[in-house]
C-alpha cells in the first residue's frame, strides 16, 4: 500500500472517527471544534489530489529531519514548500505514533479546507489534542511520548475531557499553550494568525 492510501485509511479509521472535542480559544470567545467529518474531508481532498503528499522531505531539507510532518496551506519560496501539501520526514510509516502525527497535521489541513480563521496557537493546540485522542483511541500509552512534551500535555487535556474535569482541561490547555510559546520550533508563527483559504 502506498503512503497516500495509508493516510486516507488513517483518516477514515475508527480511531479517527471517535475524535470529537471543542475548547474556547485563546481570545476567550471563539470556540475551536474538531470532529470526525474534518478527517473525512481531508481524506477526500487527498484522494482527489487537492491535497498532495511529499515523502522524505528531510532528504531535501536538512532542517526537516527525523520523525516529523508538516502541512503547508500556502506556498513559501523561502522554504521551498508548496500550498496544500502534506510533507513527511523520515518517519517510520507503520506505527501508531506516525498515524497520530498524520491526524495532527490533518487538523491543520481541515481548518485550511474550511477557510477557518483563528490564532495559530489554537490551531496547534487542536492538532496536538487530536493527535493525543488518536493515540489514546488506538491504545498507545501516554508513556510513548516524551515527558514534558506538548504531546504529553495534550494527552492530559484529553484525559480531562474524557473525565469531564473542566479544571484539568483548563490547566493542561494553559500548559500546552505556554509550552508552544516557549518552543523554538514554533516561534516563527505561534503568536500570529491562521487564515485558511480552502483548497
Query: pLDDT (tens digit, 9 = 90+) per residue, 73-94?
Result: 988 777 778 899 999 987 777 8
Q: What does DSSP assign to residue 58?
A: G
Per-position DSSP letters for 20-50, written without gaps between them: -EEEE-TTSSPEEEE-HHHHHHHHHHHHTTS
Contact predicate 104/149, CB 8 Å:
no
Cβ neighbours for 31, distance < 8 A, ≥ 6 positions apart: 22, 23, 24, 25
* Grid cell locating 183: 518552543
Nearest one of 180, 37, 13, 188 to 113, comparing CA atoms: 37
Query: pLDDT (tens digit, 9 = 90+) per residue, 160-186?
Result: 999 999 999 999 999 999 999 999 989
Amino acid at each position: 500500500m502506498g503512503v497516500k492510501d495509508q493516510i486516507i485509511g488513517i483518516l477514515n479509521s475508527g480511531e479517527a472517527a471517535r475524535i470529537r472535542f471543542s475548547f474556547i480559544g485563546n481570545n476567550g470567545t471563539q470556540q475551536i471544534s474538531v470532529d470526525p467529518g474534518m478527517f473525512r474531508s481531508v481524506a477526500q481532498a487527498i484522494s482527489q489530489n487537492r491535497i498532495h503528499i511529499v515523502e522524505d522531505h528531510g532528504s531535501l531539507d536538512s532542517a526537516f529531519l527525523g520523525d516529523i510532518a508538516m502541512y503547508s496551506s500556502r506556498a513559501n519560496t523561502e522554504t521551498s514548500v508548496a500550498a496544500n501539501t502534506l510533507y513527511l520526514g523520515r518517519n517510520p510509516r507503520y506505527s501508531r505514533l506516525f498515524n497520530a502525527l498524520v491526524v495532527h497535521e490533518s487538523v491543520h489541513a481541515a481548518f485550511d479546507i474550511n477557510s477557518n480563521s483563528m490564532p495559530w496557537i489554537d490551531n496547534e493546540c487542536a492538532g496536538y489534542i487530536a493527535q493525543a485522542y488518536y493515540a489514546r483511541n488506538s491504545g498507545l500509552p501516554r508513556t510513548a511520548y516524551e515527558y514534558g512534551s506538548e504531546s504529553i500535555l495534550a494527552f492530559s487535556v484529553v484525559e480531562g475531557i474524557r473525565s469531564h474535569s473542566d479544571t484539568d482541561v483548563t490547566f493542561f490547555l494553559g500548559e500546552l499553550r505556554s509550552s508552544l510559546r516557549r518552543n523554538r520550533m514554533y516561534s516563527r508563527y505561534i503568536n500570529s494568525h491562521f487564515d485558511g483559504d480552502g483548497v
